[in-house]
Structure 1
């Protein structure tokens, strides 16, 4: 049995797990979970509580080391956000959150300045206001930007803490919209056109690279730090046990829903540009052709409002209410910018409906079924766009992540998309994180073998379209 440690940082929570790789399966032992949230500032900006996140990561790793003898550890996280490092190798706070309103202005200015066609022609990345290139553009007048020697995506910021090595992993780097997806190198010309400091960008490394060893953290010292596919979606897709990936798609279902297929090369055609399909890099030289769909964020924000109003719903109870309200058929567009900011989600949904002459939800169950139906329809539309752009005929959808446990949404997805839905793994990101480490260590031969092990390590549910 070979042991590895995985740190997975999501946009609302994090966890630390031990992965044990045997001859016929991979087992996971999640030893620490924690919640975190953005910190609104008086000036309207949104920051992450990075000190809290680091403290919780260390707590989890020190707990994990008590019951394991790991070959290595690796960190994955949500995409696009970053931190600055000073010339003296000190972290320069703060870490801005991707929902910070400053990014929309930067996005509009930079898109107009360079032109979307030029940006997409090499990066192949979906246009989203929070992509790192716009965040860096928005940060140009901040003191930390001026003082910084380098910036690092969040997993590599943690790696730097452990090893003092300045390097950026390519799957997360691709989310910056400043990387050439064909060459898997920084697009230096684009960076200069954007007016962003070229010297801030570090060297790049691929998943599976040995970054260094932990130093200065007592019982953790000496553990190898290995790069996994550090974009959490890249790790999750590495953990999908495809049967025939040529006819199968995935939906990584959580706060966001990432809907796409796995390719061997990016698709940078005019059709892909028009459909705003992203080409993010994946493990083992792959490309993830996908689109972001706002996922469980909208429902979670509703739950937060209901909590403030004194109605606390566990998800099973809320899904029961949604099932009882199936006769309610109003749909919203989950990707409408109206639903992006936190707070006031019930009012936002009502305003959306009223403005369009739609019947707004009245009960909590109607809100829930409206959101779930709308997500399933958004999946159908997105899969059709991806199928048209890639030429893939999609027959099966793998739904992974926390959302894969939502049986009502899974069945709605099968019904509305007219495709077979297979669930899991729930912990796809952890499986993928561990798989890349195991391949790096020579414990597993390649990604195909790792996926075969993952397929034996969990139980999938199958939903047929009705």
Structure 2
């Protein structure tokens, strides 16, 4: 009889419930439920509708029972940095504000009045992103101090959902590191830094690692669903789960977790918090089994998703890729510029960036997409050079995992721009990594090495030569 493991993978634009089980030496997947997600406006803020998301979480779990495929365990992963606050009665305070909201503008300078940017990087190893939790909390401290005063718990988004399922509050390690408030040496909250910044230390929950059995479902949830199962922490940061699914047994790998963001990097056993690393804006995010995901955040397919909504609504991504591949426009933009984080119009912003740099201005979805795809490939090329320079290692191939592994044109451009072989797939990397962590905890896989070998055998890949 199959043992089913349920991965609930929630991204910025959609979420899905994926059941996984093993047959022989292979892992098999089945999508049970899919639902939309996105930021909405409320009270002048960009927010996540976490109540609707939790209703979808339960709806998908109900479908498992309806199909007679009750999971032995479940784990949830989402994006990073965002959080909710709970009061002394465990009620949510304010909105679940989204990282693209403008509340962190200027908060970096407020933080640097207390600790310098260089000292902060040396202490945490996390690259500066204006939306990091450290800056979101500073915004609350400066503009809504009453919320921090009432807070008794801070829970990252997946930790909040796990809390609603089990009643147990925790802070999963991979997501906690993205707050820029965790020490890469002790791998726990940097309480001295938290105190220095004036944040209430008591709101930060105990850090637990992927594979931790958080507990059973609450009695209330069991009654709603009609069954019980264990809640096991995956790498709750979706990139942490996706990197677990890189289909390689090699020690030194170079990957791109490609989706809304492109996260390009390698794995280190020790964080690199050097000045050189800071200069290149590389980050040391926590990974499975205390590895470090040494990577750079690149704006990624968010740019394509945005222009599709604006000027390519009637096209699918395959068509956009094909049309872009037929264009000859040579204009390039810096995908990491802050101007592309949350512009009023992405298509217009790409035009403005080309105009500002004296390049040909793209017209229509075809040329706009071509500029974005070529710019991403160029950014990947630069990032490889930086990583190889700092690590002193050479990488002959790039593993692209996640939804972006479907972007054939971008994969081909990446192989050509970097002069590296590109291995694309698996596409469902985040859900696969989530399930792998549960299978390891459940004893069906020994460790990460065996999990990656199983993933290599189980899912198709495409190879692109330079």
Category of TM-score, reference length = shorter chain: over 0.9
Contact 2:210–2:289 (Cα < 8 Å) also in 1:
yes
Give the gaps of 5 or more residues in structure 2.
none
Q: Give the secondary-structure state (helix, strand or coil) at the position aligned to 1:40.
A: strand
Q: Give the structure 2 partner of residue 159 of structure 1.
A: 162
Retained in 2: the 8 A contact 1:123–1:177? yes
Kindly provide the CA deviation profile for residues 150-171 of structure 1, in whole angstroms up to 9, marking residues without a partner as x: 1001111011101111110100
Of the structure 1 ranges 12-21 and 172-181, higher mean CA displacement relative to structure 2 is found in 12-21
1:100 and 2:101 correspond: yes
Q: Secondary structure at the match of 1:6?
A: strand
Contact 1:373 1:409 in 2 (8 A): yes
Q: Which residue of 2 aligns with 1:320?
A: 322
1:157 aligned counterpart, secondary structure: helix
SS at match of 2:458: coil
Secondary structure, in 3 states, of the residue corresponding to 1:186?
Answer: coil
1:203 equivalent among 194, 206, 226: 206
Instruction: Give the alignment partner of residue 175 of structure 2, picking from 161, 172, 194.
Output: 172
Deviation digits for residues 268-325 of structure 1 (CA, Å, limit 9, x no counterpart): 1221111111001111221100000000111111111115xxx511112111211111
Most deviating of 124-133 and 55-64: 55-64
* TM-score, structure 1 normalization: 0.96
Q: How does 1:405-416 map to 2 (within 5 A)?
A: 405-416=406-417
Q: What is the aligned partner in structure 2 of residue 18 from structure 1?
A: 19
Q: Secondary structure at the match of 1:78?
A: coil
Q: What SS is found at the alignment partner of 2:96?
A: coil
Q: Does 1:257 align with 2:284?
A: no
Residue 342 (structure 1) shift:
4.2
Residue-by-residue CA offset, 1:415-450 (whole Å, 9 max, x unaligned): 000000001110111111011111111121111111
Task: Name the CA distance, whole Å, in 1 between partners of 2:381 and 2:195.
Answer: 38
Q: Secondary structure at the match of 2:17?
A: strand
- Equivalence for 1:3: 4
Alignment partner, residue 290 of structure 1: 295
Q: Is the 8 A contact 1:89 1:164 kept in 2?
A: no
Aligned residues: 459
CA-based RMSD of the aligned residues comes to 1.4
Residue 331 (structure 1) shift: 0.3
- Does 1:388 find its partner at 2:393? no
Q: 1:112 to 1:331 in 2, by over 3 A?
A: farther
Aligned to 1:38: 39
Gaps of 5+ in 1: none
Q: What is residue 212 of structure 1 aligned with on the other side? A: 215
Deviation at 1:90, TM superposition (A): 2.4
CA contact (8 A) 1:179 1:186 kept: yes
1:330, 1:281 → 2: CA distance?
Answer: 36
Using the TM superposition, give the Cα deviation of residue 14 of structure 1 relative to its aligned residue in structure 2, in angstroms: 0.7
Q: Assess if the C-alpha contact under 8 Å between 1:240 and 1:428 holds in 2.
A: yes
The CA deviation at 1:356 is: 1.5
Aligned pair 1:241/2:243, yes or no?
no
SS in 1 for 2:270: coil
Shift of 1:243: 3.8
Picking from 188, 197, 204, the partner of 1:194 is: 197
Query: Given the two structures, how large is their TM-score scaled by the length of structure 2?
Result: 0.96
Q: SS in structure 2 opposite 1:15?
A: strand
Q: Secondary structure at the match of 1:429?
A: helix
- Could you tell me which of 177, 181, 184 is aligned with 1:181? 184
Kept in 2: contact 1:267–1:390 (CA 8 A):
no
Contact 1:16–1:64, Cα closer than 8 Å, also in 2: no
Residue in 2 that maps onto 1:48: 48
Q: Does the aligned pair in 2 maintain the 1:7–1:15 contact within 8 Å? A: yes
Distance 2:147 2:227 in 1: 30
- Give the Cα–Cα distance (whole angstroms) in 2 for the partners of residues 155 and 79 of structure 1: 9
| SS in structure 2 of the partner of residue 456 of structure 1 | helix
Distance 2:315 2:367 in 1: 14
Describe the shift of the 1:300–1:177 C-alpha distance in structure 2 as closer, same or farther (beyond 3 A).
Answer: same
Distance across 2 between alignment mates of 1:72 and 1:353: 49
Alpha-carbon distance in structure 2 between the residues aligned to 1:73 and 1:199: 28
Please say if 1:146 is aligned against 2:149: yes
Give the conservation status (yes or no) of the 8 Å contact 1:169–1:206: yes
Answer whether contact 2:255 2:398 (CA < 8 A) is retained.
yes
CA contact (8 A) 1:3 1:70 kept: yes
